[in-house]
Amino acid sequence: STTGSAGASKKGKKLSKAERERLKKEEEERRHIEEVLEEARLKAEKEEAERLERERQAKEERERLEIKERECRNDELAELRQLIEGKLIAAKTTHSKNRAIVKRNRYMLCDGSPDPAIPQEINTFINLWRESKDVNIKTVLDKSKTVLILISELEFLLSNTPASELNESQATQYRSTILELQKVLLEKYNEATKYMLMRASAMANIETGYMETVIVDENITLCLWANLSRNSRFKGCNFSENKISFELPKPLTVCAIAVRIFHARYDHLSNLCHTFYPRKKRIPLVGESEINQSEKKEEEERPTEEGPMEGKEFPPVTEDETKLEDTEGVMLQTLLFFPKRRKEGKSLIHPSLPAGVAVVHSINRGNKKAVAELEEEEEEEEILENDVVDLRQYITLGGVYYFDLVKLPPQPKQIKGWTIVELLDSGLEFFPYPSETLKNNSSNVKIEEKENETLALPPVGVTIKLPENVMFFETPQIARWDNTGKQWKTDCISNLVYDEENKMMSFRMNTFYHFTLIQDTHLNMPYQSWELRPNNNNEAVLTVFAALIEIEIQIRHDHCQLNSLLGEENNRLSEIKGKWMTPQALITAMKNVGVNIFPAQDTYKYVSIIAKDQHAEQAAYEQMSLLSPAFGFSWSKWNLKAGYHHIVLKVSEHLKPGLIANRDWSLYMLSAERIQKLKITEFSEKFSDDLANGSEFHSSLYHMFKDVASSTAIDRIKSADPLFVDCVLQLLKAIRVLTFS
């Protein structure tokens, strides 16, 4: 039985043919998988080795190219600097000669107007006009045109004269003259207003019994209404042709008053605001902490000067106080904000500067610690009241509306063929509203109805049409002038209604204020994209796709013009479009009409920007302007990903007028160290700084293209008009396309 059992077991272990084939097949599959895996492993190892070899070769090639670039850097930078400086110095020399010619022509001008840069002439002009008794409105309007031209001349000198040709004492003199001209201009308009009101009865409307008159010229609109009939049912006055109206509170309908709406198409108030100027941090000077206790006590006891600066006496600033040269002939001057006026010998406040600004004495270079502290000066955040307008964030547009309630002067009376009029020595007198007298009169009418009410007089209603030469990209805001604090504020204004279709604005104020329209300065920042392309020889077109509008600026030699605005309503900016101007004039004109694409030094506080190294950014603008006669430049989305030290933009050679095709653009990355062409395109999935095949590192864009660009392009660059290169550079620096796009 045992033998039979073993035989059966052996017989049971015998595999069938199918099983043997299955096992054989599985073995073959296992061996095949092992072979495949081994082959894949060997292939991966080979690919990894090849990748490492490629990386090693690429690294070696990159190092070789970097070494080559470093070897050529000094020569390339020297050649680049010679090219750029040659253009800019030639442009500077031409501008200097042109300024000298303008100055000489101004000196030789014999049109009867004074030279505002000569104190004797301008002071004589101001004093003679101030003493003049001719206050006829026509005479005042004619004279005001001359005054506005003189103010423009001084503002031009301040903004366009380089520091090497305009010292601080001259700049201070110009600012003081501007303030004095603005002051005497308003004085004369007030005198002319009083002169007209003294003859209101002769100009009265026979039907209404009121005097209504409107004076219009290119600079102002004067709407004047006099309450001659004193009808308590009077509601308000509508100067329909000028789209200006007001609603008079009932208590004023029986008063001897007049209402003046004087719309000046300029703003002579904002420059009096402390928020108009960039804020600076107060940096203590060396030795200032050593002021003795008696000086500190005296300083604390002295009242703070926060009011207007007119009429206050200030010690004269001598030449030694504004210019103190050390043994090496080097001086350092700076402006700082001081909360209080220091003792004489510490700092001096100029009457022409805004409140809080002081001129710090020049500091000897040997005092390195003081110099270091001044170099660390930075902007200081200021906490403003909620209703105070920050003029670093908002801009006034369309000028200023002087909305005044004035006392009606005594009117002439006819007695037995004689005209008798009472003459008052005072000037134009303003009528207080609200006043206690009016409140008492109002409370006595129906006292039983006011037992549980606050005796507040009704507000004043105003309706105006938005100026036609200004662009508003959102509903405008109204700001009123606070004469005590010398600032614009948004309080005391209610019931604001904006008719967008007819561009009419209605609102109420609790009294009569000067008011203006304000808009966010940075509505069109950051930009969506931009493009600079050559158009013809010494011509280019700069297009900025701003947040709400597309702007095209044409550049020709040393002038530029606003070509078109996509998004503009009803051709509102026809006054400045198509007119050739200098870059500075175009910048000013565009800001004045509400199209601001020109960042200020503190704009970064209000706009999200792409922070870039300033030296690299400025160097990029210089090289772009140098190459602009033959190369186009454009925005790249990779500029955001490139980091702080690198700038990425699209570049293409372009010698014919017209647009640049997408296929012609290539990407280039700029830094303070070198320039390189990128391997990626604008449509790549991710950013990489890999060098494009067949390209090399260079120290500048000019040398990047010097060997690969056409001879025509290089000739255009070398022969370009220096004034054209300088004009392009001014616009690029003003718009800052590389950081605000």
Question: What pLDDT score does 121 carry?
Answer: 93
Tell me the pLDDT band of 350, cut-offs 50, 70 and 90: very low
Mean pLDDT of 670-678: 88
Q: Please report whether residue 49 resides in a domain.
A: no
For 351, the domain range is: 280-284+329-380
φ, ψ of residue 254 to 5 degrees: the values are: -105, 10
Q: Indicate whether 726 and 635 sit together in one domain.
A: yes
Q: Indicate whether 226 and 342 sit together in one domain.
A: no
Mean pLDDT of 613-633: 94
- Better pLDDT: 2 or 618: 618
Q: What is the DSSP letter of 271?
A: G
Q: Please report whether residue 39 resides in a domain.
A: no
Question: What pLDDT score does 434 carry?
Answer: 86
Q: Which residues pair with 347 in a beta bridge?
A: 360
Question: What pLDDT score does 442 carry?
Answer: 53
Question: What pLDDT score does 135 carry?
Answer: 92
Q: Indicate whether 372 and 475 sit together in one domain.
A: no
**Domain C-terminal end among 144, 174, 192:** 192
Nearest alpha carbon to residue 658 among 548, 535, 553, 565:
535
Terminal-to-terminal C-alpha distance of the chain:
100
According to the per-residue pLDDT averaged within each range, which of 42-56, 325-339, 360-374, 483-497 is highest? 483-497
Q: Indicate whether 333 and 362 sit together in one domain.
A: yes
Question: What pLDDT score does 207 carry?
Answer: 83
Tell me the pLDDT band of 31, cut-offs 50, 70 and 90: confident
- Better pLDDT: 5 or 174: 174
**Cβ atoms < 10 Å from Cβ of 552:** 16
pLDDT digits (tens, 9 = 90+) for 188-219: 999 999 999 998 888 888 888 899 999 999 99
Q: Which two tokens stand for residue 581?
A: 């101007």
Q: Please report whether residue 658 resides in a domain.
A: yes
Question: What pLDDT score does 719 carry?
Answer: 94
Q: Which residues pair with 236 in a beta bridge?
A: 247
Q: Which residues pair with 553 in a beta bridge?
A: 542, 562
Tell me the pLDDT band of 225, cut-offs 50, 70 and 90: very high
* Helix ranges (DSSP H) in 570-663: 583-592, 614-627
**Domain C-terminal end among 519, 548, 566:** 519
Question: What pLDDT score does 722 carry?
Answer: 96
Distance between CA atoms of 57 and 49, rounded to whole angstroms?
Answer: 12
> How many residues are recorded in the chain?
741
Question: What pLDDT score does 600 carry?
Answer: 92
Q: Indicate whether 372 and 395 sit together in one domain.
A: no
Question: What pLDDT score does 568 carry?
Answer: 67
Distances (CA, A) of 458 to 64, 69, 292, 439, 652: 82, 77, 55, 10, 66
Question: What pLDDT score does 439 carry?
Answer: 57
Average model confidence (pLDDT) across the chain: 82
* pLDDT at residue 321 greater than cutoff 80: no
Q: What is the DSSP letter of 145?
A: H
pLDDT digits (tens, 9 = 90+) for 33-73: 888 888 888 888 888 888 888 777 777 777 777 777 777 78
Q: Indicate whether 411 and 348 sit together in one domain.
A: no
Mean pLDDT of 174-186: 96
Distance between CA atoms of 621 and 624, rounded to whole angstroms?
Answer: 5
Q: In one letter, which amino acid is 136?
A: N
Q: Which two tokens stand for residue 458?
A: 């009704």
Sign, Cα dihedral of 59, 60, 63, 65: negative
Q: Please report whether residue 403 resides in a domain.
A: yes
Q: What is the DSSP letter of 701?
A: H
Mean pLDDT of 74-102: 90
* pLDDT at residue 447 greater than cutoff 80: no
Q: Quick check: 226 and 408 in contact, CB under 8 A?
A: yes
Q: Indicate whether 468 and 361 sit together in one domain.
A: no
**What does the DSSP assignment read for 299-336?**
HHHSPP--S--TT---PPPPHHHH----TTS----EEE
Triad 243, 246, 250: Cα angle to 5°: 160
Q: Indicate whether 604 and 724 sit together in one domain.
A: yes
* pLDDT at residue 10 greater than cutoff 80: no
Question: What pLDDT score does 477 carry?
Answer: 95
* pLDDT at residue 261 greater than cutoff 60: yes
Lowest mean pLDDT segment, chosen from 166-175, 290-299, 418-427, 504-513: 290-299
- Better pLDDT: 268 or 112: 268
Question: What pLDDT score does 257 carry?
Answer: 93
* pLDDT at residue 571 greater than cutoff 80: no
**Cβ atoms < 10 Å from Cβ of 390:** 17
Tell me the pLDDT band of 640, cut-offs 50, 70 and 90: very high
Q: Quick check: 437 and 461 in contact, CB under 8 A?
A: no
Q: Please report whether residue 166 resides in a domain.
A: yes
Mean pLDDT of 307-323: 37
Q: CB-based burial of residue 652 (10 Å sphere; 0-12 exposed, 13-18 middle, 19+ buried)? A: middle
- Better pLDDT: 389 or 693: 389
Distance between CA atoms of 191 and 586, rounded to whole angstroms?
Answer: 35
- Better pLDDT: 200 or 653: 653
Q: CB-based burial of residue 372 (10 Å sphere; 0-12 exposed, 13-18 middle, 19+ buried)? A: exposed
In 217-310, the DSSP E strands lie at 220-226, 236-239, 244-247, 257-264
* pLDDT at residue 2 greater than cutoff 80: no
* pLDDT at residue 659 greater than cutoff 70: yes
- Total tally of structural domains belonging to the chain: 4
Distance between CA atoms of 331 and 187, rounded to whole angstroms?
Answer: 41
Question: What pLDDT score does 109 carry?
Answer: 82
Question: What pLDDT score does 424 carry?
Answer: 73
DSSP, collapsed to helix, strand or coil, labels residue 504 as strand
Question: What pLDDT score does 281 carry?
Answer: 54
Q: Please report whether residue 312 resides in a domain.
A: no
Distance between CA atoms of 565 and 309, rounded to whole angstroms?
Answer: 42
Distance between CA atoms of 451 and 160, rounded to whole angstroms?
Answer: 64
Lowest mean pLDDT segment, chosen from 59-68, 87-96, 231-240: 59-68
Q: Please report whether residue 445 resides in a domain.
A: no
**Domain C-terminal end among 497, 519, 541:** 519
Q: Indicate whether 351 and 403 sit together in one domain.
A: no
Triad 529, 532, 535: Cα angle to 5°: 140
Using only the alpha carbons of the chain, give its radius of gyration: 37
Question: What pLDDT score does 374 carry?
Answer: 33
Question: What pLDDT score does 415 carry?
Answer: 77
Distance between CA atoms of 221 and 467, rounded to whole angstroms?
Answer: 12
Q: Which two tokens stand for residue 243?
A: 């789209």
Q: Please report whether residue 324 resides in a domain.
A: no
Percent of the chain residues topping a pLDDT of 70? 81
Question: What pLDDT score does 330 carry?
Answer: 32
Q: Indicate whether 336 and 248 sit together in one domain.
A: no
Tell me the pLDDT band of 286, cut-offs 50, 70 and 90: very low
Question: What pLDDT score does 107 carry?
Answer: 82
Mean pLDDT of 329-333: 32
Distance between CA atoms of 362 and 487, rounded to whole angstroms?
Answer: 31
Distance between CA atoms of 203 and 160, rounded to whole angstroms?
Answer: 47
Q: Indicate whether 489 and 557 sit together in one domain.
A: no
- Better pLDDT: 724 or 360: 724
* pLDDT at residue 294 greater than cutoff 80: no
Q: Indicate whether 375 and 230 sit together in one domain.
A: no
- Better pLDDT: 22 or 740: 740
Tell me the pLDDT band of 437, cut-offs 50, 70 and 90: low
Tell me the pLDDT band of 475, cut-offs 50, 70 and 90: very high
φ, ψ of residue 71 to 5 degrees: the values are: -65, -35
Q: What is the DSSP letter of 290?
A: G
